[in-house]
Amino acid sequence: MTGSIVGLFSAPNGGVPKASVDSLGVTNEGCIGDKQNDRASHGGPQRAVCLLCTEIMEELQAEGHPIDGGTTGENLLIRGIDRDELKEGTVLKTSDVTLRITRDATPCRTIQDSFIDNNYAIFSHRIIPNRTRWYAEVIQEGTLSVGEAISIVSTNTL
């Protein structure tokens, strides 16, 4: 299954919203130029990149939520990948980068402004499966670019 990267986001000073960028270098430790203020909950090798499907964001927008690209802390916004195919162990590849999903990204109050009545809990995989962001580790370091293809190459579970 192949989709595309429609948004990349980074926050040099940490927090949200993250600013839109055209390209983003990724390493085993995370996204270059993207700071995490709470390293106990974000970042590091197992949470190097945070990704979200555009279709989920658009679904939430249609319900009236003020979510937008970068407002929930995602680094990578993708379109055209079936959300049900994203789970722990799924491997995604671009021309330059390989990522493996390690876990869902548990929502916290930092992103509450992206939801009606600050109800960020509706973004929880445990409450509504596959309506969430995902953390990924970087298997192959490189640069991600807006507009490039991204494909699932494996759906082995961890």
pLDDT at position 1 is: 82
pLDDT at position 42 is: 56
pLDDT at position 38 is: 57
Q: Is 109 left (phi over 0), alpha (psi -120 to 50) or beta?
A: alpha
Q: What is the pTM of this model?
A: 0.93
pLDDT at position 142 is: 98
pLDDT at position 124 is: 95
pLDDT at position 155 is: 78
Distance CA 10, CA 4 (A): 18
Distance CA 60, CA 67 (A): 7
- The answer to whether 86 and 61 are in contact (CB under 8 A) is no
Query: Architecture of domain 2-154 in CATH?
Result: Beta Barrel (2.40)
CA quadruple 93, 151, 32, 15: dihedral positive or negative? Answer: negative
- The answer to whether 22 and 1 are in contact (CB under 8 A) is no
Per-domain residue ranges for the chain?
2-154
pLDDT in single tens digits along all 158 residues of the chain: 899 999 999 999 888 999 999 999 999 999 999 987 655 555 677 899 999 999 999 999 999 999 999 999 999 999 999 999 999 999 999 999 999 999 999 999 999 999 999 999 999 999 999 999 999 999 999 999 999 999 999 877 65
Q: Which of 84, 78, 69 is nearest to 149 (CA)?
A: 78
pLDDT at position 45 is: 76
